[in-house]
Amino acid sequence: MNLSAELVNFAYIISAALFVLGLKMLGHPDSARRGNLYSAVGMALAIIVTLLADSIVSFEVIALATLGGTVVGALAARLVAMTSMPEMVALFNGSGGAASLLVGWAALYDEILGTSAPSTFILITIILSILIGGVTASGSLIAYGKLSERMTTAAIVFAGQRIVNSLILVGIVGSSVMFCLEPTLGSQWFWVLLALSLVLGVMAVIPIGGADMPVVISLLNSYSGLAACAAGFAIGNNLLIVAGSLVGASGIILTNIMCKAMNRSLANVLFSGFGAAKAATKVEGEVKPIVADDAFLILEAAQSVTFVPGYGMAVAQAQHVVRELGELLEKNGAEVNFAIHPVAGRMPGHMNVLLAEANVSYEQLVEMDDINPRLPNTDVVVVIGANDVVNPAAREDENSPIYGMPIINVDHARTVFVLKRSMGSGFSGVDNPLFFKENTRMLFGDAKQSISALVAEFKS
């Protein structure tokens, strides 16, 4: 059965509608799962009609690659732990980038071997698809390395970094121009361009570290969409452009939300190398440790308890015991909720997913702007593995690298418990004056064990 181009494009319209509808339904937790299904149906439809189109004549390579990709993708999606979601998404992003790069490359062969000489417009779109795809692929690999802590999570900055980056950009523009002037398959400019794209991706991500990772992962998400967009221009496919730009827009919006949540501009995040510049005012004072027995007595008397989770909760795998403690507190008559900072964890919404996994109802998850006015009337705040997002230095210390960042004002609550392994500084290496406040009590030890101890006290 060979479908005409009109029919294929008509089916593409339906696919595009399903993507739009799917994204719209992702706007509410009740409809989100169905929305994702609609979007998947749209994708399946697009793939099927493309396979039936008369331009495809041989299927061996396709069958093999599809089988391989399905097995890898399905296994990865099945086996990944919810705590490792950020690095998984980074890898999927990179995979999409690599696909766009290869489509652009393959389109080059078709164009140059084709009957008429390729137009400059087509060449530029092919170059863009290779460039954005390459940056996404190699950048995502670095992001994966950082998120999974297979390489240093800190920002890597060196003298002359900007000069090197500028030279890379000049090199990319230069080799693109040279290639457009004389587009041949053996052109060395093509290889220069390909190599520089991959290097640029690496260089773009290494100076970003620490708490800035949610920005990077959102931005790479956006790039993977833009890469698909560019590939759509290169091969003249409407659906690639529509779907790619939807994803591109989504990534940009998330990036913007993340930047706002850290009170920093995108340029600042991308180029400054977090925390490298100013030295914060040294915080000194005495911390007041507390043992689980005493913490239990305070919690038992509390009318309202707010949990503030951070990446440390994910590391300690404490989300299930936290949910259990929350339920026990509710049974004890307290009002329990979870305050979630937009950049808590290492990707947007990371904490929400972990708590959802632990069966916490999404109605109990409160955003930063909604919880802050309620905190002065909250009896106990329990900070679990969060640091920067509750650091009052962001309000008080103008020299702090995080000064100006909106935070959850946990120090306004009557009592704050901070669960912490030891007295080191957080992921971004910033000192936290919260630990020395009058109403702060430190509960040292592994977060999961500390919470379990509290749960045991409630049960006995």
Partner 1 sequence: MEAVFLSFILMLSIFLGFELISKVPATLHTPLMSGANAISGITVLGALVAAGANNSEMATWLGGASVFFAVINVVGGYMVTDRMLAMFRKKPTGGAA
Residue 429 lies near partner 1 (rule: CB under 8 A): no
Interaction with partner 1 in 249-278: which residues (CB under 8 A)? 249-254, 257
Minimum distance from residue 324 beta carbon to partner 1 (Å) = 8
Q: How many beta carbons lie within 10 A of that of residue 121, not counting itself? A: 10
Q: Kindly tell me which residue out of 246, 339, 386, 454 binds partner 1, with binding defined by CB under 8 A.
A: 246
Distance CA 71, CA 77 (A): 10
Interaction with partner 1 in 184-223: which residues (CB under 8 A)? 217-218, 221
> Which of 223, 435 has the CB closer to partner 1?
223
In 148-187, alpha helices (H): 161-181
Q: Kindly tell me which residue out of 244, 275, 401, 426 binds partner 1, with binding defined by CB under 8 A.
A: 244
Residue 340, strand partner residues: 367
Minimum distance from residue 323 beta carbon to partner 1 (Å) = 7
Are 341 and 386 in contact by the 8 Å Cβ rule? The answer is yes
Q: Kindly tell me which residue out of 148, 187, 245, 449 binds partner 1, with binding defined by CB under 8 A.
A: 245
Minimum distance from residue 439 beta carbon to partner 1 (Å) = 28
Residue 74 lies near partner 1 (rule: CB under 8 A): yes
Count, residues near partner 1 per rule CB under 8 A? 118
What does the DSSP 8-state code read for residue 279? P
> Which of 21, 157 has the CB closer to partner 1?
21
> Which of 68, 289 has the CB closer to partner 1?
68
Residues 6+ apart with CB under 8 A from 224: 93, 94, 96, 97, 100, 136, 140, 247, 251
Catalytic annotation, pick one of 388, 397, 411, 431:
388
Which pair of structure tokens corresponds to residue 288?
């007041």
Which pair of structure tokens corresponds to residue 261?
């949540």
Which pair of structure tokens corresponds to residue 84?
């490792």
Residue 382, strand partner residues: 307, 417
Which pair of structure tokens corresponds to residue 426?
């957080």
Q: How many beta carbons lie within 10 A of that of residue 91, not counting itself? A: 18
β strands within 113-245, DSSP E? none
Is 388 noted as a catalytic residue in this protein? Answer: yes
Instruction: Using alpha carbons only, give the angle 110, 111, 112 rounded to the nearest 5 degrees.
Output: 95
C-alpha pair distances (Å), 317 with each of 16, 116, 358, 446: 39, 60, 10, 10
> Which of 102, 315 has the CB closer to partner 1?
102
**Considering only 164-172, 236-244, 292-300, 383-391, which stretch makes contact with partner 1 by CB under 8 A?**
236-244
* Amino acid type, 12: Y
Q: Kindly tell me which residue out of 153, 175, 176, 237 binds partner 1, with binding defined by CB under 8 A.
A: 237
- Sheet hosting strand 365-367, strand order edge to edge: 365-367, 335-340, 304-309, 380-384, 415-420, 440-444
Q: Kindly tell me which residue out of 190, 233, 296, 311 binds partner 1, with binding defined by CB under 8 A.
A: 233
Interaction with partner 1 in 309-338: which residues (CB under 8 A)? 320, 323-324, 327
Minimum distance from residue 68 beta carbon to partner 1 (Å) = 5
Interaction with partner 1 in 97-156: which residues (CB under 8 A)? 98-100, 102-103, 105-107, 109-110, 113, 121
Residue 236 lies near partner 1 (rule: CB under 8 A): yes
Minimum distance from residue 331 beta carbon to partner 1 (Å) = 12
Interaction with partner 1 in 356-415: which residues (CB under 8 A)? 356-363, 365, 367
Minimum distance from residue 318 beta carbon to partner 1 (Å) = 12
Q: What are phi and psi of 288, to 5 degrees?
A: -110, 100
Which pair of structure tokens corresponds to residue 49?
């009609």
What does the DSSP 8-state code read for residue 381? E
Identify which of 3, 2, 8, 1 has the alpha carbon closest to the alpha carbon of residue 237: 8
> Which of 77, 164 has the CB closer to partner 1?
77
Distance CA 242, CA 228 (A): 9
Interaction with partner 1 in 12-71: which residues (CB under 8 A)? 19-20, 22-24, 26-30, 32-33, 35-37, 39-40, 43, 46-47, 50-51, 53, 55-59, 61-62, 64-66, 68-70
Minimum distance from residue 330 beta carbon to partner 1 (Å) = 9
Minimum distance from residue 288 beta carbon to partner 1 (Å) = 33
> Which of 66, 303 has the CB closer to partner 1?
66
> Which of 11, 402 has the CB closer to partner 1?
11
Distance CA 428, CA 33 (A): 34
Q: So which residues are the catalytic ones?
A: 388
